[in-house]
Amino acid sequence: MQLAEVVGTVVATVKYEGLEGVKFLIVQPLDRDRRPKGRPVVAADAVAMAGPGELVYIVASREAALACPEPFVPVDHAIVGIVDEAERSG
């Protein structure tokens, strides 16, 4: 799992079956110092409460689909938590 910042919203009416009601957001993965790391990706919002500007943590690969209401869906990144506080030393 990695930290990411929500930077945008994706609206899609026509989606593959099983993805109805799933919200998609554009997230920028962050490194441990919260600098952008790699390219932004589209992630399913599995907490249904994330919004632009928020710090979240995301899960990638097969596990992302498991976070969705229907576990067999074509999703490769999902927001699984909104970060209240993340602190790191060293």
Partner 1 sequence: MKIGRVSGTVVSTINHPIYDDRRLLICDMLDERGEDSGDYLICVDAVDAGRGETVLIIDEGNSARQVVGDVHAPIRAVIVGILDELIVDGDVIDVAGR
Interface ranges with partner 1 (CB under 8 A) = 1-3, 31-32, 46-47, 49, 57, 59-64, 66-67, 71, 78, 80-90
Q: What does the alpha-carbon distance between residue 20 and residue 32 come to, in Å, rounded to a whole number?
A: 33
Q: What does the alpha-carbon distance between residue 78 and residue 67 come to, in Å, rounded to a whole number?
A: 7
Cα–Cα nearest to 29, from 63, 2, 60: 2
Q: Least distance (Å) from partner 1 to the CB of residue 13?
A: 25
Smaller CB distance to partner 1: residue 14 or 67? Answer: 67
Smaller CB distance to partner 1: residue 17 or 87? Answer: 87
Query: Across-strand partners of 30?
Result: 36
Q: Least distance (Å) from partner 1 to the CB of residue 8?
A: 19
